Amino acid sequence: MNARKNRTVVYHILVCLFGLVMIYPVLWMIMSSFKNSSEIFQNADSLLPTSFKFSNYTNGWSGFGGVSFSVFFKNSFLICILATVGTVISSAIIAYGFARCNFKFRNFWFGCMLISMMMPFQMIMIPQFIIFKKLNWVGTFLPLIVPYFFGLPFGIFLIMQFIRGIPKELDEAAKIDGCSTYGIFGRIILPLIVPALITTAIFQFMWRWDDFLAALLFLNKPSRYPVSLALKMFSDPSAQSDWGAMFAMATLSLVPIFIIFICLQKYLVEGISTTGMKD
């Protein structure tokens, strides 16, 4: 048994060492948020600041033109939570349709879904802006939230792959017990695809949290800006940039995603293998 113990120790040491390489840049960013703006680049190779300064945080938090970061964070949470909830619910429903129902033109619609992922947003943003303007949505959060209630191709495809990994015998058995197609989805499939739903939720939350281009176009008032967009405004190519404040706020903006990840990843672990398939 000693050999196994040794192997465990080696395992942990290796994973930790490599982990350090992985998170070095993140540590660097966090440390930079305590440095003077000028020190960040002139002292870029050293991790530790010459002295810890918290002024970057207070400077940064005060925001721009009287709108502080508490507002930006509130906006980000509102947008991301609603968009993520919408994505997960709608993508699960749509994915089930694609994975388990054999309807006419299924491949055609699936193709449409994939194609819609292949068009860069920059190339369609102007017509999309016109549509949202006609709907009178520009300047509100709606363009950043509502489209996700109609499914996210990434999520649909991912959940679909997981559903296809579930033996069809389960469906058949439920059908014999008198379950409708909708009942099968709700009672049999949904509990089994929790890991896929969580994965979709983590990704979507993170992507929405980072997205600034849609917010840049569809929002006007700074009091509606999310954190991602506000972060861009610390630097200006023709004037002095407050890099310290930028790094401070960027560090803070990582915290919510990180917490969400830590909380949700538990459910990833408690996936199917522990809840158990009978055969």
Alpha-carbon torsion (29, 33, 35, 41), positive or negative = positive
Q: How far apart are CA 144 and CA 83, in angstroms?
A: 7
Nearer CB in complex with other proteins: 54/124: 124
Q: How far apart are CA 269 and CA 279, in angstroms?
A: 20
Nearer CB in complex with other proteins: 85/93: 93
User: Is there binding between residue 3 and other proteins (CB under 8 A)?
Assistant: no
User: Is there binding between residue 139 and other proteins (CB under 8 A)?
Assistant: yes
User: Is there binding between residue 176 and other proteins (CB under 8 A)?
Assistant: no
Q: Which of 164, 183, 186, 187 binds other proteins (CB under 8 A)?
A: 164
CB of residue 51 to other proteins, shortest distance in Å: 16
Q: Interface residues for other proteins in 32-51 (CB under 8 A)?
A: 32, 37-38, 40-42, 44-45
CB of residue 102 to other proteins, shortest distance in Å: 5
CB of residue 174 to other proteins, shortest distance in Å: 14
Pick the piece of the chain touching other proteins (CB under 8 A) from 50-58, 68-76, 77-85, 228-236: 228-236
CB of residue 52 to other proteins, shortest distance in Å: 18
Residue 196 near residue 158, CB atoms below 8 Å: yes
User: Is there binding between residue 6 and other proteins (CB under 8 A)?
Assistant: no
Q: Which of 6, 52, 55, 64 binds other proteins (CB under 8 A)?
A: 64
For residue 25, what are its two tokens?
């840049």
DSSP bridge partners of 67 = 64
Please provide residue 124's backbone torsions phi and psi, each rounded to the nearest 5 degrees.
-115, 5
User: Is there binding between residue 173 and other proteins (CB under 8 A)?
Assistant: no
Q: How far apart are CA 60 and CA 50, in angstroms?
A: 20
Pick the piece of the chain touching other proteins (CB under 8 A) from 48-56, 72-80, 237-245: 237-245
User: Is there binding between residue 227 and other proteins (CB under 8 A)?
Assistant: no
Nearer CB in complex with other proteins: 54/258: 258
Count CA within 13 A, CB hemisphere, residue 111.
4
CB of residue 213 to other proteins, shortest distance in Å: 8
Element (H, E) at 252: helix 243-269
Q: Name the residue with tokens 């721009």.
A: 64
Nearer CB in complex with other proteins: 44/54: 44
CB of residue 237 to other proteins, shortest distance in Å: 5
Q: How far apart are CA 152 and CA 163, in angstroms?
A: 16
Q: How far apart are CA 233 and CA 250, in angstroms?
A: 12
Q: How far apart are CA 143 and CA 132, in angstroms?
A: 7
Q: What is the DSSP letter of 25?
A: H
